[in-house]
Structure 1
Amino acid sequence: MRRQSSETWILEIATVCTLQMLCALPAAADAQQNRLLVESPHSQDVQVIDVATRKVVSNIEIQEHTDAVTGSPDGSAFYVAAQDDMRSPFGYQTNESGKVMAFDSRSLEPVWSVALDGSPNHMSRSPDGKRIYVPLYTRHWLVVLRTGDGSIEQWWPATIGNHATEVSGDGKRLYVGNMVTDTIYVYDTGTGRVLMAMDVGESVRPIVLDEPRGLIYYQLSRLHGFEARRLDDGSLVRRVELPPLDDAIPATGSNLAERLANAEGAGAWPYTYNHGLAMTRDGQHLVAVATVANYVAIYSLPDFSLKGTVPVGGSPNWVVCDPEGRFAYVTNPKDDSVSVIDIAAVREVARIPVGKGPKRIAFSVE
């Protein structure tokens, strides 16, 4: 029998290894595919968007009014917060309980669900993917969940009105914006203790951390703009006013029907002037949503110079920027869509139909 040369043997082994690698590529690419997740509270579902085609590829029924959605560091799972519908005449957001659910990103099947005593608002996930921090608007505590099984790891003292949350890059600090006490609370995630309270003078809405510059940006209920404070001592650095409104915000009528009709507008509590703030990962741009005026404003950092404004859909509510900092995605609750904004060109390049009343939006890999 003829003996194979060492060169032939090496070539055959290399060929087999190459074929194995090529066969594994589709599965690896699929596992790492980053998609957009949009929660739509009025249709009580979550849409999955392929960012390449800008189309909804899956719809997940939640069967409760959703309030928040977040991905995971490796994209293997995502998490949805929902509020129980109490059929209140004051709107679905008037509730006393809710839940957080985990889903497998590949199968889109539920993994676990945990019921919560209190109304869950804008939750955050720890950078290592092991924890979820859930503010409960109607309770004097917030909960820390284990992402593995949804069990409650800790209860931290709080006050009613907790709404927005953000976690520091090293996972050691949790920033919680409150709509009742007009304060941003800073928690030590190792102990659950409050380290600092920033009194900002108005109901706190979305917040963004700019840790390289030592700043926190945030929106307030009755401010057509946003503010910046120092992370180390909470001192105010700057207030940035968005381009002025063409018309004054009309006062809401005194009768109940009119007030309920404006429950999510600017003319009645919680006076949502602006709701949505995001910074590109390179820290070069800040995108601010003007809910009351149906546009987004794009600012250059660190000088807060206005690059321009982009008209979007009705009552825009939330914004995220892609990992490359090329596009911003904005939810439009009044016309059930997501606007795609080219940040460099300062223009809308697409509008994607989604569920009813879309609000929070996130990438599956975060």
Structure 2
Amino acid sequence: MKSLLTLAILASTAIPAFAGQAPGSAEAPDIAVSSRDRFYTSDQFSNTVSVVDPSTNEVLGVIKLGEQTPANLSPLYRGQLLVHGMGFSPDHKTLAVISIGSNSVSFIDTESNAVKHVTYVGRSPHEAFFRPDGKEVWVSVRGENYISVLDGQSFTETGRITVPNGPGMTIFSPDGRYGYVCSSFSPETVVIDTATKEIVGRVKQESPFCPDIAATPDGRQVWLTLKDVGKVMVFDAKPPFSVFKVIDTGPITNHVNIVRNPKGQFAYVTIGGLNEIKVFDTSDYKQVATIPVGSLPHGLWPSGDGSRVYVGLENADAATVIDTATNKVIATIPIGQAPQGVAYVPNAVEKGDGRANLQPLAAANKPTQLVLTGINGKGVTQVSLFDQGLVQVLQAAATGLEPKKPYVLALSRDAEGQGALEPLANFMSNPAGAAIVNAVGPLRTSVETGDASARRYLVIAEGAGAKPGAIVQVQKLQ
């Protein structure tokens, strides 16, 4: 009897204290990293999906969904534009990829990398996630005020759920009972009963702009990010859905995801304006780590066993891999242009090498990296120029500006911004004094040329329109 009792104790202690990774439940078994797994990124400016083998951290190729600029400026009869959000089915066989500019959800077979269906929905969808039972796909149509509900097999729309204007993302409770929908334009998250499709709870957001939301595998908490004010919120995953905590995190706080490992359960948050990941213990909300990762971290997702976190670096055309035991970056992987959403799918490929229908990663120039600094010592703006052939897409991650004020990103013939300016983009800073700014043009030849008569310098000035005001940031000379 004693030996049986000892065996029982040993068997019970052999079971990990923490198992099951997001978006699954804590009761689900962990899945060790293997060559059958895949890590995917949705690449907004190359309109591709990058496919990575996490066992080797090798990019296997890309799935091409659309063309680059300027080819995609003509009437868009074929292909997708602004590839952005990403989710996957509970059986790990289907990837759901959102393209904001073409209002679509592309459903991709994870084994063959083939697009098996495209569903067109309303204006500017942002994210799509399967219900835990796989029967439905909920698409957050951020340009409107509803969730588009698709059948999980045919991928046709079966209904719509009216929500506050600008739904940013839906994530489900691990048991599938609730769908949590945060908003990007309204300061309210709603909780929907998945059986009745009725709103059963409301959570006041600290600001209107939530891009991302995650439910903990233990079914107790929901974490959401507030990009405009640089905060995360945590609320009770069950009625009455009370707010537990609001945490100041930093400018351009973007995505959040949950990791469970032998040390506990942790929330990993991308802070784009600081080029960092911040890690919080979900038991007491205390920050336990800060991880420098690279230029403008965006989406992130844990491996099937929680041993790693994969992070897309939006302004670096790369992904970094974090060892969650040490919270150190252990690899950097080149991928497509401007990764947005990401997904780690365990056991995505059961048969074959999973390389069918992939194209080589384009041998384009790496993005040109520039930095603007405040003339008063305040603020730093990271600028990346993504090569599209004859033109470049410019993306600037601005910080250190006055909150909620108009500014203009412009070109100047003078390194200090003196004299006439050529405006590129007018923008409004968010409540945290930050902004993401985009422009398109033959910009590399202007800012990198050695010809003094043709040279231009990037600056940020106050105001808007054709007559900007005082210069606040200037290009740091390399």
Per the normalisation by structure 2, the TM-score is 0.59
Which residue of the other structure, out of 268, 276, 290, is the alignment partner of 2:255?
276
Please give the alpha-carbon distance, in whole angstroms, between the structure 1 residues aligned to 2:236 and 2:122: 34
The residue matched to 1:292 in structure 2 has which SS?
Answer: helix
Tell me the CA shift for residue 213 of structure 1: 6.0
Which residue of the other structure, out of 42, 47, 68, is the alignment partner of 2:45?
42
Tell me the CA shift for residue 158 of structure 1: 2.3
Which residue of the other structure, out of 230, 234, 241, is the alignment partner of 1:234?
241
CA deviations over 1:101-160 (Å, ceiling 9, x no partner) = 111222111111111122111221111222110011122322111131211121112232
Please give the alpha-carbon distance, in whole angstroms, between the structure 1 residues aligned to 2:177 and 2:107: 23
Number of the residue aligned with 1:317? 298
Number of the residue aligned with 1:155? 160
Tell whether 2:48 aligns with 1:53: no
Q: Can you give the 5+ residue segments of structure 1 that lack an aligned partner in the other structure?
A: 1-28, 85-96, 246-265, 267-272
Number of the residue aligned with 1:146? 151
Please give the alpha-carbon distance, in whole angstroms, between the structure 1 residues aligned to 2:177 and 2:327: 35
Alpha carbons 2:227, 2:253 under 8 Å: kept:
yes
The residue matched to 1:360 in structure 2 has which SS?
Answer: strand
Superposition pairs for residues 111-122 of structure 1, below 5 Å?
111-122=116-127
Alpha carbons 1:136, 1:160 under 8 Å: kept:
no
Q: Which amino acid aligns with 2:289?
A: G
Tell me the CA shift for residue 48 of structure 1: 0.8
Which residue of the other structure, out of 93, 101, 104, is the alignment partner of 2:106?
101
The residue matched to 2:191 in structure 1 has which SS?
Answer: strand
Alpha carbons 2:164, 2:188 under 8 Å: kept:
no
Number of the residue aligned with 2:474? none
Number of the residue aligned with 2:19? none
| Counterparts in 2 of 1:345 and 1:199: CA distance versus 1, 3 Å | same
Number of the residue aligned with 1:257? none
| Counterparts in 2 of 1:208 and 1:158: CA distance versus 1, 3 Å | same
Which residue of the other structure, out of 309, 312, 323, is the alignment partner of 1:342?
323
Please give the alpha-carbon distance, in whole angstroms, between the structure 2 residues aligned to 1:313 and 1:37: 18
Instruction: Report the count of equivalent residues.
Output: 297
The residue matched to 1:334 in structure 2 has which SS?
Answer: coil
| Counterparts in 2 of 1:157 and 1:306: CA distance versus 1, 3 Å | closer
Tell whether 2:208 aligns with 1:207: no
Number of the residue aligned with 1:129? 134
The residue matched to 2:201 in structure 1 has which SS?
Answer: strand
Q: Relative to total residues, which structure has the larger helix share, 1 or 2?
A: 1
| Counterparts in 2 of 1:357 and 1:234: CA distance versus 1, 3 Å | same
Q: Which amino acid aligns with 2:168?
A: H
| Counterparts in 2 of 1:65 and 1:213: CA distance versus 1, 3 Å | closer
Query: Percent identity at matched positions?
Result: 22
Tell me the CA shift for residue 32 of structure 1: 9.0
Number of the residue aligned with 2:82? 65
Superposition pairs for residues 170-319 of structure 1, below 5 Å?
170-202=175-207, 203-210=209-216, 212=218, 214-231=220-237, 232-242=239-249, 273-281=252-260, 284-319=265-300
Alpha carbons 2:302, 2:344 under 8 Å: kept:
no
The residue matched to 1:36 in structure 2 has which SS?
Answer: strand
Alpha carbons 2:88, 2:129 under 8 Å: kept:
no
Alpha carbons 2:304, 2:344 under 8 Å: kept:
no
Per the normalisation by structure 1, the TM-score is 0.76
Q: Which amino acid aligns with 1:49?
A: V
The residue matched to 2:127 in structure 1 has which SS?
Answer: coil
Q: Can you give the 5+ residue segments of structure 2 that lack an aligned partner in the other structure?
A: 1-31, 67-80, 349-478
Alpha carbons 1:47, 1:58 under 8 Å: kept:
yes
Alpha carbons 2:106, 2:118 under 8 Å: kept:
yes
The residue matched to 2:121 in structure 1 has which SS?
Answer: strand
Q: Which amino acid aligns with 1:107?
A: S
Q: Which amino acid aligns with 1:66?
A: V
Number of the residue aligned with 1:91? none
CA deviations over 1:147-185 (Å, ceiling 9, x no partner) = 312111211122321112101112121111012111111
Tell me the CA shift for residue 296 of structure 1: 0.5
Please give the alpha-carbon distance, in whole angstroms, between the structure 2 residues aligned to 1:301 and 1:172: 22
Tell me the CA shift for residue 239 of structure 1: 2.1
The residue matched to 1:112 in structure 2 has which SS?
Answer: strand
RMSD: 2.1
